[in-house]
Chain A
Amino acid sequence: MIRVKLPLHLQRLADVEAEVQVRVSGAVTQRSVIDALEKEFPVLEGAVRDRSTMRRRSLVRFYASGEDLSNDDPDKPLPSEVESGAEPFLIVGAIAGG
């Protein structure tokens, strides 16, 4: 299972705790993880990726294993720690102001 950590807004929207687990078949990539997340929680469709372009919303960031993966190819394999479940894939609202 892949661990995914959600920001507060998306936790409330999906009515879940901070961390959820999703099952991914095949390569573990940004695309496959978010596809699985949206399948499990359809209310998150459009909240992480733009519905028409399927690209990351500009104020959403993706982190894992201490790295910012936001601008990586969505089909690039995620770090092995995410694949093994040792580390979560972090979906983060970009910091702005304050």
Chain B
Amino acid sequence: MSDGKRRDWKVNGPHFPGHEIFHMKGAPQDPNRLYASQSTEWFGQQIQRSDDGGETWQPVSNDFQFAGEPGTHLWYDGTPKPFEFTRVWHLEPSQTDPETVYAGAQDASLFRSTDGGNSWIEMAGLRTHESAPEWAPGAAGMGLHTIIEDQSNPGRLFVAISAAGVFRSDDAGESWQVKNKNLTSNFLPDPTAEIGHCIHKLAIHPARPDVIYMQKHWDVMRSDDAGDSWDRISGNLPTDFGMPIDVHAHEPETIFVVPVKSDSEHFPLDGKLIVYRSKVGGTDWEPMTKGLPQKDCYVNILRDAMAVDSLDECGIYFGTSGGQVYVSPDGGDNWQTIVHDLPGVLSVEVQTLP
């Protein structure tokens, strides 16, 4: 926690010692309402909720049941495998109602709760999409990791799945369309196939939801037509492999990525941790290095480990596999370490309290 200056930080916790918190996120309409996905290989999935800004937590429902037959997807070896619920990768509280929250799961499936996490209903139109038998897992499993609710177009949702691609619904999740046009993935037998792209993260600015930014397995991409088509905006990035991408809170054309060397080497180029910022919506990128380690740095930055706050001077945050959390309180120019000896950071989110 910090004040608006974001210079001095207090670290609370650990809150769920011994467990992995895959993702935690606060409700936009209620700063005290937080949801957390707690998981271990041993004891499975739990969902925790806080109604007091993280001071106390209560477990809510972990009953994630597929609606109907599970169906199959492709396994790593290309053979069919039944869908199986493993864990929740991402929790996305609704933009309008703190009691409504979406959960993106592995194997790729989408759930919604309208009672603050006390019960979950699968939005089965996605998992039963005609393309689902062709979906395949990425290295970390077949996860649904991005859920975007478009406030200005009621009923419009975007999700992204590794490794299937981007899907859009215009009817509140009843039906879904594939939105992978112009994506290229060289690990596919047909690199321009409609299905099978390993999207790492999507980001939008709420004021301009038809513009979507994407960090893909390789390639940073942009759509100006709500996902109908995509253009490559990697431009002068020294490498365009990475996991997170985010948009400045007040400048819809200012975006941030943290590239790592390659699909085989998940660490920054030359041991220098650099956030790249584009102020023109991509293609032209500038390196942000002040306050970040510029030698001997070999950490990774995971897809949900980047966030922005909504203060007047936008703060940017990211966490690393080495347990550091960094903040720039001035839109990316200067960085400082909030905490540097945590376990590997799986997610970073910001909640601004009144």
Residues on B with C-beta less than 8 A from A45 are 62-63
Q: Which residues of B contact A57 (CB under 8 A)?
A: 42-44
CB < 8 Å neighbour of B43 from A51, A52, A60, A96:
A60
**With an 8 A cutoff between CB atoms, is B71 at the interface?**
no
Contact of A51 with B65 in the complex, beta carbons under 8 Å: yes
**B45 surroundings in chain A (CB, below 8 A):** 46
- Is B13 among interface residues, defined by CB-CB distance under 8 A? no
Q: Which residues on the A side are within 8 Å of B65 (C-beta)?
A: 51-52
Among residues of A, the one whose C-beta sits closest to the C-beta of B65 is: A52
Residue B68, interface by CB 8 Å: no
Question: Separation in Å of the B272 CB from the closest CB of chain A?
Answer: 32
Query: With A9-B18, A9-B19 known to touch, is A47 a contact of B63 (CB < 8 Å)?
Result: no
Do the beta carbons of A59 and B42 come within 8 Å of each other? Answer: yes
Chain A: residues with Cβ within 8 Å of the partner, total of 20
Q: Check if B40 sits within 8 Å of A9, measured CB to CB.
A: yes
Q: Shortest distance in angstroms between A20's beta carbon and chain B's nearest beta carbon? A: 16
Residue tally, chain B, CB below 8 Å to A: 17
* A94 in contact with B42 (CB, 8 Å): yes
- Docked pose: A51 CA to B87 CA in angstroms: 13
B122 CB → nearest A CB, Å: 12
Minimal beta-carbon separation of B11 from chain A (angstroms)? 20
Contact A52 B18 (CB under 8 A): no
Does B151 lie at the interface of the complex (its beta carbon under 8 Å from any beta carbon of A)?
A: no
- Bound complex: CA A50 to CA B59 (Å): 17
- Of all chain B residues, the one with the shortest Cβ separation from A92 is B42
B44 touches A9 (CB 8 A): no
Report if A10 contacts B (CB, 8 A): yes
State whether B85 touches A60 (Cβ < 8 A). Answer: no
Residues of B within 8 A of A93 (CB): 42-43
Contact string against A for B residues 21-42, beta-carbon threshold 8 Å, 1 for contact and 0 otherwise: 0000000000000000000111
**A43 in complex: contacting residue of B18, B42, B59, CB < 8 Å:** B59
The 10 residue pairs across chains A and B that have the minimum distance between CB atoms = A47-B43, A59-B42, A93-B42, A43-B59, A46-B62, A46-B44, A9-B43, A47-B44, A9-B18, A59-B41
Known: A12-B18, A48-B43, A51-B63. 9 other contacts (CB 8 A): A8-B18, A9-B43, A12-B16, A13-B43, A13-B46, A47-B62, A52-B65, A60-B43, A93-B43
30 residue pairs A–B, Cβ–Cβ below 8 Å: A7-B43, A8-B18, A9-B19, A9-B43, A12-B17, A13-B43, A13-B59, A45-B62, A47-B43, A47-B44, A47-B46, A47-B62, A48-B43, A50-B44, A51-B62, A51-B63, A51-B64, A51-B65, A52-B65, A52-B85, A57-B42, A57-B43, A57-B44, A59-B42, A60-B42, A60-B43, A93-B42, A93-B43, A94-B42, A96-B41
